[in-house]
Amino acid sequence: MKKIYLLVLCFGLAASTAFAGNPDRQGEAGAAQLLMNPWAASAGLHSMNTSSVFGVEAMRINPAGVSRFNGTEVKIGYANYLQGTDISMQAFGVASAKGNGGAIGFSIMSLDFGDIPVTTTAQPEGTGAILNVSFLNIGLTYSHTFEEAVSVGVTLRGVSEGTADVSAFGLAVDAGVQYVAGENDAFKFGISLRNIGSRMTYGGQGLSIGAQTTEANFNRTLYERSAGFEMPSMLNIGASYDLRPGGLESNQRISIMGNFTANSFGRDQIGGAVEYAFREQFIARVGYRTDLEQSELTEIPLYDGISAGASIRVPFKKGDRSRSFSIDYAFRNTRIFNGTHNIGIGVSI
């Protein structure tokens, strides 16, 4: 009965926001780091594995999947974002099952913008100083699986952006559900609501200016007010089905996935992906995603087209897939620059 109530709640949430895409508000949201995916396995699917993601990477896609992994998983991710811009992503995450269907997780992600020289109107060629830009978000996740069929999860994330003298901070919440059914859990369905949080506003000494008053001959420090901005909230609805060539005992798996994304500050997106696994040790994946309602009046999407990736999982003990070492790689085509490359390593114990 709990499963039915949870699914009704999630379907109601999806029905109320399924057409939330709003191209007229494109560019009004901030905290774009929340839209970036530093994890290679899910990046190779264009982050469209809402229904089947599990373990550490679920904290970025659908927190309900954290409890779908039995044991403890540790991952490190790196991404060369828009190759040619000198921007990179670094991430660390750990997820651990706690018994009775529960699991907790911790993740941290940061952006590195490379060396940005400080310039002024008096010194346009640079002052010799380097601008220190810090973009960081930290998430805590709890997930629970009911009767091995329905999983729910929630992530509380702190979001920080700024330089040495200007900064902004906000809190965001992700929530999700996953449902599995069929023989050997072949059918999977998932919904995640991401980046629901407080408005962020920049403040700090960098927004102050000195001005001389007209009434008296002394200076005052004036502070400029920064406009606040929303977080890039979105709704993901996905489904997948696992095919087993040769029967349930086959060493091969072919997963077919579909995903719909409703963006509150942009156009909606739809796409599909296929993942092939041999003995769950050698995995290849490819995906395609496109924006809906494209027109000349809205910005062309950054990611629109092909993504691909591969993983190698080496078990520590023959026949025991629950303990392994993994290497993941992904490439996503981009409209400008030379795409985004992801690489990651992980340990499952």
Q: What are the domain boundaries of the chain?
A: 2-10+28-348
**Confidence check: pLDDT of 148 > 90:** no
Q: Residue range 193-218: average pLDDT?
A: 81
CA separation for the pair 241, 273 (Å, rounded): 11
The DSSP 8-state label assigned to residue 122 in this structure reads: S
Please name the residues in contact with 165: beta carbons below 8 A apart, sequence gap of 6 or more: 204, 205, 206
- Over the stretch 291-317, which tens digit does the pLDDT of each residue have? 887 666 556 678 878 999 999 999 988
Q: How far is residue 255's CA from residue 54's CA, in Å, rounded to a whole number?
A: 14
Max Cα-Cα span within the chain: 89
CB-based contact 55:73 (threshold 8 Å): yes
Whether the pLDDT of residue 173 is over 70: the answer is: yes
> What architecture is the 2-10+28-348 domain classified under in CATH?
Beta Barrel (2.40)
Average pLDDT over residues 155-168: 93
In this prediction the pTM is 0.87
Q: How far apart are CA 325 and CA 348, in angstroms?
A: 6
Q: Is the pLDDT of residue 287 over 50?
A: yes
Q: Which two tokens stand for residue 312?
A: 């190698």
Closest-CA residue to 155 (of 70, 95, 98, 73): 95
Tell me the C-alpha to C-alpha distance, in Å, between residue 70 and each of 54, 55, 67, 148.
10, 8, 7, 12
What pLDDT is attached to residue 37? 95
DSSP line for 67-102: GGS-SEEEEEEEEEETTTS-EEEEEEEEEEEEETTE
pLDDT at res. 226: 84
Mean pLDDT score, 146-163:
93
Give the span between the Cα atoms of 40 and 61, in whole angstroms: 12
DSSP letter for each residue of 301-342: PSS-EEEEEEEEEEEEETTEEEEEEEEEEEEE--SSTT-EEE
CB atoms closer than 10 angstroms to residue 336: 10
The b/e string for 50-68 (b: 16+ C-beta within 10 A; e otherwise) is bbbbbbbbbbbbbbbbbbb
Question: What is the DSSP-derived secondary structure letter of residue 294?
Answer: -
Tens digits of residue pLDDT in 58-100: 999 999 999 999 899 999 999 999 998 889 999 999 999 988 8
Strands (E), the chain: 72-81, 87-99, 102-112, 116-117, 130-131, 134-146, 150-162, 167-181, 187-197, 208-212, 219-223, 234-243, 252-263, 269-278, 282-291, 305-317, 320-332, 340-348
Identify the residue whose tokens are 């229904």: 51
Asked whether 151 and 67 are in contact (CB, 8 A), the reply is yes
Average pLDDT on 140-153 reads 93
> Taking residues 278-293, what's their average pLDDT?
92
Paired residues of 172 in beta bridges: 157, 197
In the numeric block, the tokens 């489904």 are attached to: 239
Distance, in Å, from the CA atom of 9 to the CA atom of 16, rounded to the nearest integer, reads 11
Mean pLDDT of 167-171: 95
**Is the separation of the CB atoms in 326 and 333 below 8 Å?**
no
Predicted pLDDT of residue 19: 44
Distance of CA 116 to the CA centre of its chain: 26
